[in-house]
Structure 1
Amino acid sequence: MTNELTEELLYEFRGEENSFLITIRCDLEWSHNKFIKFLYTMKDYCKQKQSKDPLDKEIAQGFWFVTWFIKDWTSHQGFRKANKFSDDYYTESYELIHDLSYWYFVEESIYIEEKDFEEEIKILESYI
């Protein structure tokens, strides 16, 4: 696991300046590009994690937190009205977060091949 990747993921999980989480939380703005970058960071982290590696407490808290927080925070009407994505877009987004969290905790990806994850991203982007 690269230290750079760990720091990048923690930056997002901590809601640092200009991160996806701080943008949805404070600006009430869903940035598709920031979200995609966030998903890839989560995926890359899971991909590099070895089953023999113990779970990092702060990373585990981050995966757990985003699994419920993003959906909870972005599901209300005010947020949805300000961000013109479809319900299908949000549903697919929440599923991707769930899938990546599953991968982290269970250490088993539902994506058989790399292209399977890419297909899910394409589905998400088809809703834009």
Structure 2
Amino acid sequence: MEYEEELQHEFHAEKGSFLLQLRIDLFWDHKQLIKILRLMEKCCLDMQENSSLPRNWTDGFWYFSTFVEGWSTHPNFPKTYSKKYYEKAYELIFSMSSWFFTGRYPWNIKEGFDNAVMNLERLGDRKFNRFSEEDDLPF
């Protein structure tokens, strides 16, 4: 599986990983998150029909889906993006975890995942100094 090594690197919070940067540096790496979500998609597609799931993947999906939101919603965590961005990111992470554990694609249309990621990418391209009127204030 082409995604396995990279996704395990992320789930184990190894050097340079999104989780390690989030935890130690208090840095939310938008591009790295998008990459992880795409790796998670590949894993979900591979595991979708499996009646049993490997523990290394279940641990990783569970931890990622709980830690990211729990850590980054702390009042002292520096916010780089809009409130709407973080809400969409947490929703997408949760949806990926749900897909992995249930085997059910969480969107109504085939392109649902791609649309959700593109929306997050669009929101991630706009930081605080480039708010448009439809964005929520970051606080």
* TM-score, normalised by the number of residues in structure 2: 0.82
Name 1:10's counterpart in structure 2: 8
> How many residues are matched?
123
In 1, are the aligned partners of 2:48 and 2:100 still within 8 Å (CA)?
no
RMSD of aligned Cα (Å): 1.4
Q: Check whether the contact 2:88–2:120 (CA below 8 A) recurs between aligned residues.
A: yes
Please state if 1:23 is matched with 2:40: no
1:105 matched residue in structure 2: 101
* Residues 1:124 and 1:107: Cα distance change in structure 2 (over 3 Å): same
**1:76-127: CA deviation from partner (whole Å, max 9, x where unpaired):** 1221xx33211111110000010000111000111331x2211111221232
TM-score (norm 1): 0.88
Q: Percent identity?
A: 35
Q: Aligned residue for 2:36?
A: 38
Residues in 2 aligned to 1:15 and 1:22: alpha-carbon distance in whole angstroms: 5
* Counterpart in the other structure of 2:62: 64
SS at match of 1:15: coil
Q: Considering fraction of residues, name the structure with more helix.
A: 1
Unaligned runs of 5+ in 1: none
Aligned-pair CA distance for 1:9: 1.3
| 1:40-85 alpha-carbon deviations (Å, 9 max, x no partner) | 1111110122523521101101111111110010001221xx3321
